């Protein structure tokens, strides 16, 4: 392991961390702008041009606020809750392939922090421990509403993880690998052997199930029952103030960014775009791959916009409807999808 | 001491300390949280052997699923120290006897075992990738693998049956 490799990876990890943070910051701005547009308002427009400095102002405000601790016997766990939520939101970005390789200073730089051959399982592992942030925080608040909310959040996440995993299995059966990098490479080009290469065209049902589950896992409307304010005051972060509250909110937006990236990588061809091969043959490998990164970020931004679009269009479900959808509709649908995929693989391959 | 050995001692210390604290702490939620940390450090031990699949599946199954449900149950039941049922003397006596017998077995094993303190080194052989595991599981260990899945299915049906019976009005 040479030092150039370590420097390269360290720089890359810092860049990814910064990008995740900036995307999460500007998602809060975009969310208010989209909400304002959908409700025929102007939205934030005081701080900077078009309100572009609004996230910075919000951050300053949250840092300057009073640190309030509720009367709880578990002050340590109270602080650990938002920390877990934030760390798990950031950890998943390690295995996402952000682009094909770049050729810089005579070295091939692979645009992925690490390429382990179980990347999808790694993502699932991190998602499954993400629920601890909510559970521990909600319980340590020593408040009945927070506890109710964290119990809701936990049961919701556990239920939808099952459907999410089953939706992915159909995709894995087709790709034959668990590595996100290889799944991204398999979707290169746009048209091959008489069908689209992007997975969304061969796994439409799986994509829909995964999308719905991603909404549930990130706690976004219509599945944001964990913070249903008409029933639970503010949800699991009722007792939180200042930047600890900010961490919970921020983690939600970071999760949104990461899950959009995973949706784009798994189903929407990752960094591939039609004519990528032509670009790298005629214009240069670096130019083609940088365009690939831009394309990936356009796809991610589209999914983030989609999250917001849904949030301001569809009202919240009732809790029994949520459980009904998860266990009685999505899971059987995912199992049927697996069986159909299996039969198709047997017949066509 | 190589960095890997230092990591091993560090992880081993965390594993043993959290395992002890799991039993020792009075608050059930704290116990559960210590157990979660314990599972993570065991995952770290698997990673030291470069068994990535095993490490991640261990974390998904134990830390991600089982402990979430456990924590969930403890939170719902809201166990407190005051709620602790009074244990009869015979139970305590039984616990002590079992503990002593268990300790004797463990200590004997510890004394009689010939420990080989080896170094971690790379064998260069692929023993952990999913392709390898899949081949072994579905060829060599096909029958036990299928039995395990049947066992899980039976357990699942049993759980559904048990939870159905408790419905009021039936």
Inter-chain touch A129–B63, beta carbons under 8 Å: yes
Confidence (pLDDT) at B81: 56
Which chain B residue is nearest to residue A134, measuring alpha carbons? Answer: B68
3-class secondary-structure state, position A1: coil
User: Is A316 within 8 Å of A224 (Cβ atoms)?
Assistant: yes
Q: How many CB atoms are closer than 10 A to CB B125? A: 7
Q: Element (H or E) spanning A107, and its range?
A: strand A107-109
Higher pLDDT, B144 or A113: B144
User: How many H helices and E strands in chain B?
Assistant: 7, 0
User: Does residue A142 come out as left (phi exceeding 0), alpha (psi in the -120 to 50 range) or beta?
Assistant: left
The predicted structure's pLDDT at residue B73 = 82
Please indicate if any CB of chain B lies within 8 Å of the CB of A148. Answer: no
**Per residue in B16-40, pLDDT tens?**
999 999 888 888 888 888 999 999 9
Residue A272 Cα distances to A107, A148, A200, A269, angstroms: 22, 44, 13, 5
CB atoms within 10 A of CB B10: 12
Any chain A CB within 8 A of the CB of B109? Answer: no
How many other CB atoms are found less than 10 A from the CB of residue B107? 10
Q: How many CB contacts within 8 angstroms connect chain A with chain B?
A: 59
Whether the Cβ atoms of residue B110 and residue B34 lie closer than 8 Å to each other: no
Q: At what angle do helices A331-348 and A144-175 cross, to 10 degrees?
A: 10
Q: What are phi and psi of A104, to 5 degrees?
A: -125, 135
CA–centroid distance for A304 within its chain: 9
A154 and B76 within 8 Å at the Cβ level: the answer is: no
Q: Which position has the token pair 């392939």?
A: A97
What pLDDT, on a 0 to 100 scale, did the predictor assign at position B80? 58
pLDDT digits (tens, 9 = 90+) for B49-90: 888 888 888 888 888 888 888 888 887 776 655 556 677 788
Q: What is the mean pLDDT of chain B?
A: 84
The region of weakest confidence among A215-224, A328-337, B32-41, B44-53 is A215-224
Residues from chain B that touch A128, judged by Cβ atoms under 8 A, are 59-60, 63-65, 68
Dig out the tokens for A158 from the structure: 């556990």
- Looking at residue B15, its pLDDT comes to 93
Q: Which of A26-40, A107-121, B42-56 has the lowest mean pLDDT?
A: A107-121
Q: Is the per-residue pLDDT at A39 higher than 80?
A: yes
Largest CA distance in chain B: 66
- Decide if pLDDT at B115 tops 50: yes
Bond before A222 cis per omega within 30 degrees: yes
Q: Assign A224 to helix, strand or coil.
A: coil
Residues of A whose CB is below 8 A from B71: 132, 135, 154
A132 contacts on B by Cβ (under 8 Å): 36, 68, 71
Pure H helices in B25-66? 28-48, 52-58
| Span B135-155, average pLDDT | 91
Buried residues in A71-102 as b, exposed as e (16+ CB within 10 A): ebebeebbbbbbebbbebbbbbbbbbbbbbeb
Inter-chain contact B129–A122, Cβ cutoff 8 Å? no
pLDDT tens by residue, A42-54: 888 888 787 888 8
Nearest to A143 by CA among A57, A232, A16, A254: A232
**Does the predicted TM-score (pTM) go above 0.90?**
no
Report yes or no: B159 at the A interface, CB cutoff 8 Å: no
Task: Convert the pLDDT of each residue in A223-278 to its tens digit.
Answer: 777 676 666 777 777 778 778 888 888 888 888 888 899 888 888 887 888 877 77
ipTM above threshold 0.85: no
Is the pLDDT at A100 greater than 90, yes or no?
no
Helix/strand/coil for A192: strand
pLDDT at site B170: 46
- The Cα of A168 is separated from the nearest Cα of chain B by a number of Å equal to 15
Between chains, do A118 and B68 touch, taking CB under 8 Å as contact?
Answer: no
Confidence band, pLDDT 50/70/90 cuts, at residue B151: very high
- Write out pLDDT tens, residues A16-32: 888 888 888 888 888 88
Helix (H, G, I), strand (E, B), or coil: what is residue A103?
A: strand
């Amino acid at each position: 392991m040479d030092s150039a490799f370590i420097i390269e990876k360290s720089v890359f990890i810092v860049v990814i961390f910064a990008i995740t943070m900036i995307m999460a910051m500007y998602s809060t701005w975009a969310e208010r702008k989209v909400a304002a547009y959908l409700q025929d308002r102007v939205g934030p427009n005081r701080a900077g041009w078009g309100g572009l400095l609004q996230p910075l102002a919000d951050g300053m405000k949250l840092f300057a606020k009073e640190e309030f601790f509720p009367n709880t016997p578990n002050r340590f766990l109270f602080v650990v809750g938002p920390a877990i939520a934030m760390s798990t939101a950031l950890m998943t970005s390690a295995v996402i392939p952000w682009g094909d390789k770049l050729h810089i200073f005579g070295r091939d730089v692979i645009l992925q922090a690490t390429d382990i051959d179980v990347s999808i399982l790694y993502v699932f592992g991190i998602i499954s421990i993400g629920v601890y942030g909510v559970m521990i925080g909600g319980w340590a608040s020593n408040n009945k509403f927070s506890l109710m909310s964290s119990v809701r959040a936990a049961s919701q996440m556990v239920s939808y993880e099952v459907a999410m995993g089953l939706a992915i299995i159909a995709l894995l059966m087709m790709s034959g690998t668990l590595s996100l990098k290889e799944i991204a490479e398999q979707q290169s080009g746009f048209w091959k052997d008489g069908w689209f290469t992007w997975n969304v065209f061969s796994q439409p049902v799986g994509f829909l199930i995964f999308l719905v589950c991603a909404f549930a896992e990130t706690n976004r409307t219509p599945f944001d029952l964990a913070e249903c304010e008409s029933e639970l005051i503010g949800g699991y972060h009722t007792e939180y103030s200042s930047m600890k509250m900010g961490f919970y909110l921020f983690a939600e937006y970071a999760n949104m960014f990461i899950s959009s990236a995973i949706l784009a990588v798994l189903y929407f061809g990752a960094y591939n775009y039609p004519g990528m091969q032509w670009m790298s043959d005629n214009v240069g490998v670096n130019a083609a791959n940088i365009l690939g990164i831009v394309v990936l970020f356009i796809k991610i931004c589209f999914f983030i916009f989609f999250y917001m679009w849904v949030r301001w269009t569809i009202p919240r479900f009732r809790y029994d409807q949520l459980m009904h959808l998860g266990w009685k509709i999505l899971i059987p649908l995912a199992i049927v999808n697996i069986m159909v995929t299996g039969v198709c693989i047997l017949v066509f391959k | 001491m190589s960095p890997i050995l230092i990591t091993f001692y560090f992880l081993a210390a965390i594993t043993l300390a959290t395992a002890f604290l799991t039993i020792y702490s009075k608050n059930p939620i704290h116990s559960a949280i210590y157990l979660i940390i314990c599972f993570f450090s065991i995952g770290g031990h698997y990673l030291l052997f470069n068994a990535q699949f095993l490490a991640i599946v261990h974390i998904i199954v134990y830390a991600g699923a089982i402990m979430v449900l456990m924590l969930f149950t403890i939170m719902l039941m809201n166990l407190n120290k005051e709620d602790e049922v009074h244990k009869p003397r015979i139970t305590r006596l039984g616990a002590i006897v079992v503990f002593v017998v268990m300790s004797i077995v463990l200590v004997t094993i510890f004394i009689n075992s010939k420990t080989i303190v080896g170094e971690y080194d790379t064998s260069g052989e692929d023993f952990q990738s999913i392709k390898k595991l899949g081949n072994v599981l579905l060829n060599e260990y096909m029958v036990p693998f299928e039995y395990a899945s049947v066992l899980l299915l039976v357990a699942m049906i049993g759980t559904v049956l048990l939870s159905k019976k408790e419905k009021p009005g039936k």
